[in-house]
Amino acid sequence: MSMLKQLLAITGSALIIASCQDANNQSDVTTDSATAEQPLADTTPKSNTQYVDLKTGQPADLYYNSKKKRTYSETTNEPVDLYVNVVTGDTIYGQGRYVVNGYIVKTADGTYKLDDKKIKIDGDEIKIKEGDKKFKMEEGEMKIKDGDEKMKTDGDESKIKTEDMKSKTEDGQTKTKE
């Protein structure tokens, strides 16, 4: 994660330096009555970039196609697999927009990928495993297991099981056993 913070710091510094250079390279304008009456306004284009593409290491403007469940670069229209939201510091998997903090690894060639020892994504199916915790979501069904505690939801139905109780909700009715 420190490599990611370094990447964000370098990117932020580069953006600040570039904007300062643009401001310093503006030519001097002779003041006349027309310019003296007008308020000074900063008309330099500002970037709304709040993402960094981990593949390129560069700031990127992105959009999400909800039909394809995929994030794309506005500049290239190419899919973006992993990116960082610089506002929140979260690493996002572009296919489905899952937050994958702590679930990526740097490969030998310097690129990033999902850590397949912890997370598996296949189409609309996602599985995450860390220690004795498991999370699985597929076809509208979600299952979570954390030690002896289990939770399952599927549409309007849900089940929760802990060491002390069981709860089941079906058709708006909840039954609980302790």
Q: Give the per-residue SS3 of 107-139.
A: CCCCCEEECCCCEEEECCEEEEEECCEEEEEEC
- For residue 129, what pLDDT is reported? 84
pLDDT of 76-108, one tens digit each?
Answer: 999 999 999 999 999 988 887 788 888 889 999
Exposure of 9 in the CB half-sphere (CA atoms within 13 A): 6
Residues 6+ apart with CB under 8 A from 44: 19, 22, 23
Listed range (8-22, 43-57, 141-155) with the worst mean pLDDT: 8-22
pTM of the model: 0.55
Q: DSSP assignment, residue 147?
A: T
pLDDT at position 9 is 47
Tokens 């999370």 label which residue?
135
CA dihedral of 71, 76, 77, 78, whole degrees rounded to 10: -60
pLDDT of residue 96: 76
Q: By mean pLDDT, which of 41-45, 98-102, 131-135 is the weakest?
A: 41-45
Burial (Cβ within 10 Å: 0-12, 13-18, ≥19) of residue 80: buried
Rounded-to-integer distance, Cα 141 and Cα 162, Å: 19
**pLDDT over 50 (residue 11):** no
Q: Per-residue confidence at 17, pLDDT binned at 50, 70, 90?
A: very low
Model confidence at 31, in pLDDT bands (50, 70, 90)? very low
The pLDDT of residue 172: 82
Quickly state the pLDDT bin for 48 (edges 50, 70, 90). Answer: low
